[in-house]
Amino acid sequence: EIENLESQIPVVPPLPQLTCDDATPESICHLLSCNDERITLSSAEPEFFDMMMGRYSKTPNLGIYLKGHEGDSHKENRKSGRPVSLSAPLLTIVVMAQPEAIEEAGSQRVLKGRGLLARFLFVLPPSPVGYRDCVSRPIPPAIEQRYEDCLRSMLAVPILKDEFDRPQPRLIRISQGAA
């Protein structure tokens, strides 16, 4: 009777994880497989460059970063884990890095040669050292609400699926004026 009752317990899917931080390429593949093939790597430090370049293996592992930018299929088979098959993974990377860290990444031939660095938008604002306020003004409630509404509307955009129920990328076209 217990087995019968246990077999009727519905499978509860795990809560989605929207972002990750200090993750190996293999871990990113696993996270993508658990989150409809979408994840954002977001960090205040450029550690992910170390992960890409082989922090634990000393061999660059760029596959998921390259394929996750384009939404190309990716299959991963490792001795220590279950196989992961991704049909159209989308990996967004947002990193706040010091200019020296970006220069170091730019000096890595493999990152340039395989086209990884060309897939990033780099923004180098002027340094605020010496003239920023130590006490910031509070964000006006209307702006805070507008920001929250914008984030919620982006998260509410449904995931496109193909005829096999696999997630498909949405294309963002940039006009000539925007370019």
pLDDT attached to residue 86: 94
CA 20/CA 101 separation, integer angstroms: 20
Single pTM value for the model: 0.71
pLDDT in tens, the chain (179 residues): 999 999 999 988 778 888 999 898 889 999 999 998 999 999 988 888 888 888 887 788 899 999 999 889 999 888 777 889 999 999 999 988 888 888 888 888 888 888 888 888 888 888 777 776 778 889 999 999 999 999 999 888 888 888 988 888 888 888 898 88
**Cβ contact 122:101 at 8 Å:** no
pLDDT attached to residue 31: 94
Angle at 98 between CA 96 and CA 99, to 5 degrees: 120
